[in-house]
Amino acid sequence: MKFLQSISLALCLAAAPGLADEMPELDEIVEVRLLSGWTEASGARIGALQVTLAPGWKTYWRVAGETGLPPYFNWSGSVNLDRVEMLWPRPDLFVMEDIRFLGFQNELVLPIRFWPETTGAMEIAAAVEIGVCKDVCIPYGSTHVSLLETAGAEDRFLIELALADQPEQARDQAILRGDCTLVDADEGYRVIATIHNTAGFGADPMLVVEAAGPDLWVTPARAHIRDQTLQLTADILSMGDRIPPLVPADIRLTLIGAGRAMEVDGCTAF
């Protein structure tokens, strides 16, 4: 995956010839910090990662889009941490040099649910790698440590605001109509999806395919839209020696455009 990220970064820099030598100092354009939140009834702790960017700068969503540098997180230095759940807010769809990508401009607040291994305090150590872009894309890395103590009013407000801006769920809204099929392909799987009545997502929405599982790569989708019907084909390949078995429930589709994002969990009819 890091190899793919390096390719994406090279593409970003190539899109802006001559600017790679004029990159500003990183501390002038990006600041990252961990926000404290609250403890849920389940025992999980809500916190967030806040990325503050200089005006006009952007960073990427969990899937960058047609090119870009997707974020990478390493929590291995944490104490009493079992797992994390990223609660990504709705991204915006940007177009630069005829390339579409997904992300956030000026600020990202990414809520995160931290599950402890046992009862007691957690110490969160986050190693973060993101791409930040304006006329040129720059990789940024930092490490942050926090005990996630009780949030102040401002941090809590920021986290709650981001939680309120999650993608809509197709199963809740009963708006999208379409179907998704997962079939065996030569070296992995192929996803074939059709979505009808995309009018609420602009003239040229983007459909993102994600597959659950480590070391999986979804190829750039081949998409076509006509009369508010979007048709898409994408391949799922393994970065390892063998692709693990996948079932339709392992696939997530997200339709993004016109300031909206709607998720479909599972590659089935909907």
133, 37: one domain: yes
Distance CA 249, CA 251 (A): 5
pLDDT the model gives residue 9: 43
3-state secondary structure of 156: helix
Distance CA 95, CA 47 (A): 31
Domain of residue 240: give its range: 168-265
- Specify if 185 maps to a domain: yes
95 backbone φψ class: left, alpha, beta (φ>0; ψ -120 to 50): beta
- Specify if 74 maps to a domain: yes
> Vertex 86, ends 82 and 91: CA angle to 5°?
170
- Asked whether 170 and 263 are in contact (CB, 8 A), the reply is yes
Q: What is the CATH number of the domain that holds 215?
A: 2.60.40
| Residue located via tokens 């597959």 | 211
pLDDT band at 5 (very low <50, low <70, confident <90, very high): very low
- Asked whether 125 and 77 are in contact (CB, 8 A), the reply is yes
- Specify if 118 maps to a domain: yes
20, 115: one domain: yes
- Specify if 270 maps to a domain: no
Distance CA 208, CA 223 (A): 10
Q: What is the CATH number of the domain that holds 61?
A: 2.60.40.1250
Last residue in a domain, options 163, 186, 206: 163
pLDDT band at 6 (very low <50, low <70, confident <90, very high): very low
In this structure, what token pair is assigned to residue 94? 């940007």
Last residue in a domain, options 133, 163, 193: 163
Last residue in a domain, options 163, 187, 209: 163
Whether residue 179 is predicted with pLDDT greater than 70 in this model: the reply is yes
pLDDT the model gives residue 15: 42
User: E strand or H helix at 77, and its extent?
Assistant: none
Residue 248's φ and ψ, nearest 5 degrees, are -50, -35
Distance CA 19, CA 51 (A): 23
pLDDT digits (tens, 9 = 90+) for 196-230: 989 899 999 999 999 998 889 999 888 999 999 99
pLDDT digits (tens, 9 = 90+) for 22-69: 666 888 999 999 999 999 999 999 999 999 999 999 999 999 988 888
In this structure, what token pair is assigned to residue 61? 């969503």
pLDDT digits (tens, 9 = 90+) for 152-172: 899 999 999 999 999 999 877
In the beta sheet, which residues pair with residue 110? 49
31, 119: one domain: yes
Distance CA 155, CA 81 (A): 22
CA dihedral sign, ordered 94, 99, 102, 105: negative
CA dihedral sign, ordered 114, 118, 122, 126: negative
